[in-house]
Chains A and B, each alone.
Chain A
């Protein structure tokens, strides 16, 4: 009995003393006091020093894209540090190119705020917020794609541009021990500010897609950060050429809905291809827009039609279909693409051949 007591006392007092030492050190040595953070030369914040730049920004409700949650393994959280921030660290070297280093680009999850700091971030990131959505509805639109309707709590709103994306914070679940952010394009129109719609495709062993497809239920809560991205509808008069496969329809649908609501009558062709007829989705809504918008043309194609599809439309992938139908002055066209890197590269090649200048081709690659 005595032995047990001595053991417990000894271990507790050793740990206690060390814990006391460490917490004193944390209060004194690691306490950097208040620092000044200036963003884009205009907004000024007083922040607690000592934390990483990413944490400091999040505490001030500025959300930088980050997929790994500050472990220095995704390289998304780049920020230009104009002044302060200390020396460039070896842990950043894998993600920041030498050219970027010269411009002062840092990984905000590695660089610490230990002195007054001046940084520059894209203006639209000020608009980024963290939202707690409620899952209103989950529809299965094809075998592999779920259509999510998310509602914001009352009184909250989200402002975004058609084409932008949000990130879902995937919680831990059985089989996944870390929280990760994954990006999905918004499919709903920006005019609806109280909720968003997303298309989420199933990828075997994908952390977030597995969560959405197997664990998420209606009425659950879902944490979303956004909006992000510079892929968005451009206010010009050019003819629009849009192309998407699978869930890549989301940002395009958002753009079409936006155009429908604002009665924008630009000439616009939307190319969408899928494997079989069963993989085409949202058709009723799209066909309604086609009949009501005089200048919108839809070009669906199937890559692997089976006899049951009963398909007499176009077959083949988007590049072939575009090659067949696109003509006119390429200089006066602009293109919006959303799909896998292979699809984007193949389509871009065709568009360039048709004379559309590279800077008028906008795309969102999923990787």
Chain B
């Protein structure tokens, strides 16, 4: 185990090792759902929620089942199955019992089943050899970082709605350019903490 305080990992996951802006993971829903602040915030919440719990689940699945059996190389397929099943189950539960929550983030859940940021966090957790608390901090932090990025993006996109963007760059084109600029800006944080 490497000795990094969980809080350091938490902040690093938000700012310096942001899932979107430094790893470019989870781009699909990031580009598709970042046109309004309100919906992007809801999607961000859903991602944070799913990230937190799947990271924990996958931590246990990995250390309790895969490592003792010597099956670490199966982690990709196992992580994916666990994530998909978990998202499915959560969708059923909140659809039934938490109506308001369902309308706020339930309908986004199918969108993030295959979000690579979520698989990415579970895999980084294994590669970087985090312990339980470090993993938890990394999961929550990455979720918040992802939310921060998508909400900022949505804010910018709402501002530029009336801007005269060249036709070929409208929509995803200009969004990718903005993500690039945001990623450059986030390099400014890199002096604060480093976890790699």
Chain A contact residues, CB within 8 Å of chain B: 3, 6-7, 10-11, 14-15, 18-19, 21-22, 25-26, 29-30, 32, 86-87, 89-91, 112, 114
**Quick check: A7 and B107 within 8 Å, CB to CB?**
no
**Quick check: A86 and B99 within 8 Å, CB to CB?**
yes
Q: Restricting to B53-97, which residues have a CB under 8 Å from any CB of A? A: 61, 65-66, 69-71, 74, 77-78, 81-82, 85, 88-89, 92-93, 95-97
CB of B13 to closest CB in A, whole Å: 27
**Quick check: A30 and B96 within 8 Å, CB to CB?**
yes
Beta-carbon nearest neighbor of A26 in chain B: B92
**Quick check: A87 and B103 within 8 Å, CB to CB?**
yes
CB of B119 to closest CB in A, whole Å: 16
Q: Which of A7, A22, A89, A114 contacts B88 (CB 8 A)?
A: A22
**Quick check: A14 and B89 within 8 Å, CB to CB?**
no
CB of B76 to closest CB in A, whole Å: 11
**Quick check: A6 and B85 within 8 Å, CB to CB?**
no
Extra inter-chain contacts (12) besides given A7-B74, A10-B74, A22-B88, CB under 8 Å = A6-B71, A10-B69, A14-B61, A14-B65, A14-B82, A21-B85, A25-B89, A26-B92, A29-B97, A90-B39, A91-B107, A114-B95
What are 30 of the A-B contact pairs (CB < 8 Å)? A3-B70, A7-B71, A10-B66, A10-B69, A10-B74, A11-B74, A11-B77, A14-B61, A14-B65, A14-B78, A15-B81, A18-B81, A18-B82, A19-B85, A21-B85, A22-B85, A22-B88, A25-B92, A29-B92, A29-B96, A30-B95, A30-B96, A86-B99, A89-B103, A89-B107, A90-B39, A90-B107, A91-B107, A112-B95, A114-B95
Bound CA span A278–B93, Å: 63
B65 cross-chain contacts in A, Cβ below 8 A: 10, 14
CB of A72 to closest CB in B, whole Å: 10
CB of A323 to closest CB in B, whole Å: 39
**Quick check: B103 and A11 within 8 Å, CB to CB?**
no
Render B147-191 as a binary contact track against A, CB cut-off 8 A, 1 for contact: 000000000000000000000000000000000000000000000
**Considering residues A14, A15, A26, which has the most beta carbons from chain B within 10 angstroms of its beta carbon?**
A14
A86 cross-chain contacts in B, Cβ below 8 A: 99, 103
**Quick check: B93 and A29 within 8 Å, CB to CB?**
yes
Bound CA span A26–B96, Å: 11
Bound CA span A9–B71, Å: 11
A22 cross-chain contacts in B, Cβ below 8 A: 85, 88-89
Chain B contact residues, CB within 8 Å of chain A: 39, 61, 65-66, 69-71, 74, 77-78, 81-82, 85, 88-89, 92-93, 95-97, 99, 103, 107
CB of B105 to closest CB in A, whole Å: 11
B74 cross-chain contacts in A, Cβ below 8 A: 7, 10-11
A19 cross-chain contacts in B, Cβ below 8 A: 85
Bound CA span A22–B87, Å: 11
Bound CA span A22–B93, Å: 11
**Quick check: B81 and A14 within 8 Å, CB to CB?**
yes
Beta-carbon nearest neighbor of B91 in chain A: A30
The 3 A-B pairs at the shortest CB distance, nearest first, are namely: A18-B85, A30-B92, A29-B92
B92 cross-chain contacts in A, Cβ below 8 A: 25-26, 29-30
A18 cross-chain contacts in B, Cβ below 8 A: 81-82, 85
Beta-carbon nearest neighbor of B89 in chain A: A25
CB of B32 to closest CB in A, whole Å: 12
Bound CA span A90–B46, Å: 15
Bound CA span A26–B88, Å: 10
**Quick check: A6 and B69 within 8 Å, CB to CB?**
yes
CB of B114 to closest CB in A, whole Å: 16
Beta-carbon nearest neighbor of B93 in chain A: A29
CB of B35 to closest CB in A, whole Å: 11
Bound CA span A84–B13, Å: 43
A21 cross-chain contacts in B, Cβ below 8 A: 85, 89
Bound CA span A10–B65, Å: 8
Beta-carbon nearest neighbor of A9 in chain B: B69
Bound CA span A30–B71, Å: 34
Bound CA span A86–B103, Å: 9
CB of A29 to closest CB in B, whole Å: 5
Bound CA span A89–B89, Å: 21
A10 cross-chain contacts in B, Cβ below 8 A: 65-66, 69, 71, 74
B95 cross-chain contacts in A, Cβ below 8 A: 30, 112, 114
**Quick check: B107 and A11 within 8 Å, CB to CB?**
no
A89 cross-chain contacts in B, Cβ below 8 A: 103, 107
CB of A101 to closest CB in B, whole Å: 14
Bound CA span A89–B103, Å: 7
B69 cross-chain contacts in A, Cβ below 8 A: 6, 10
Bound CA span A30–B39, Å: 25
A90 cross-chain contacts in B, Cβ below 8 A: 39, 107
B107 cross-chain contacts in A, Cβ below 8 A: 89-91
CB of A15 to closest CB in B, whole Å: 6
Bound CA span A6–B107, Å: 38
